[in-house]
Chain A
Amino acid sequence: MTPKLPTATVLIWLLAASTAHAQLKIAVIQELSGTGATAGTNFKNGVELAVKEINAAGGILGQKLEATIDDTQSNPGIAKALALKAVDDGAFAVFGPTFSGSMIVSMTQTRTAEVPNFTGAEAASLTQQHNPYIFRTSLTQTTSMPRVALYIAGTLKAKTVAVIFVNNDFGKGGRDTFVKAAAAVHLTVAADISTEAGQLDFSAPVLKAKQSNADAVFVYTNEEESARCLRELRKQAFSKPIIGETTLAGQRVIELAGPAANGVLAHVGLTAEAPIPAVREFRAKFEKAYKYVPDHNVIKGYTSVYFLKAGVEAAGKPNRVAVARALHGLKISAAKQPGALMDVAIDDNGDLDRASFIVQVKDGKQQVKEVLPPVAKF
Chain B
Amino acid sequence: MADFLQLFISGLATGSIYALAGLGFTLLWQTSGTINFAQGEFVMLPTFALLAFSAIGVPLPAAFALTCVLAVVVLGWGFKRGIADPLLRFGSMPVVVATLGLSIALRNGVRAGYSAEAHPFPSLFGDDVFRIGRVAVTSVDVGTLAAALVLVLATQAFLARTVTGRAMQAVAQDTTSAVVLGIDVPRMIFYTFAINAILACAAALLIAPTYLAKFDMGESLGTKAFFAAVIGGFNNSRGALLGGLVVGVCENLAAAYVSASYKDAVALAIFIVVILVRPQGLVGQRVERKV
Contact = CB atoms under 8 A, between A and B. Distances in A.
Interface of A: 32-34, 37-38, 41, 71, 167, 193-196, 198-201, 203-205, 207-208, 211, 223-224, 227, 234-237, 252, 255-256, 258-259
A48 B199 CA distance: 41
Given A200-B211, A201-B252, A208-B256, A256 B120 contact: yes
B3 A207 contact: yes
Contacts of A198: 220
Contact of B216 (A32, A33, A211): A33
B6 A203 contact: yes
Contacts of B251: 201
B184 interface: no
Interface in B120-174: 120, 127, 129, 131, 136, 138
Given A201-B10, A203-B7, A224-B212, 7 more contacts: A41-B116, A194-B261, A195-B260, A204-B255, A207-B6, A211-B3, A236-B136
Contacts of B214: 37, 224
- State the main secondary structure of chain A at its contact with B: helix
Interface residues of B, number: 35
A196 B210 contact: no
B42 interface: no
Contacts of A205: 255, 260
18 contacts: A33-B116, A41-B117, A194-B260, A194-B261, A196-B264, A198-B220, A200-B14, A200-B220, A201-B10, A201-B11, A201-B251, A203-B7, A204-B252, A204-B255, A204-B260, A207-B256, A236-B136, A256-B120
Contacts of A236: 6, 136
Contacts of B138: 235
A167 B261 contact: yes
A33 B210 CA distance: 20
B261 to A, nearest CB: 7
A276 to B, nearest CB: 27
A196 B252 contact: no
Contact of A199 (B13, B136, B263): B263
A153 to B, nearest CB: 27
B77 interface: no
B134 to A, nearest CB: 10
A192 to B, nearest CB: 11
A193 B260 CA distance: 8
B19 to A, nearest CB: 14
Contact of A223 (B13, B118, B136, B264): B118
A263 to B, nearest CB: 15
A229 B269 CA distance: 26
A204 B256 contact: yes
A34 B216 contact: yes
B263 A237 contact: no
Contact of B117 (A38, A71, A200, A227): A38
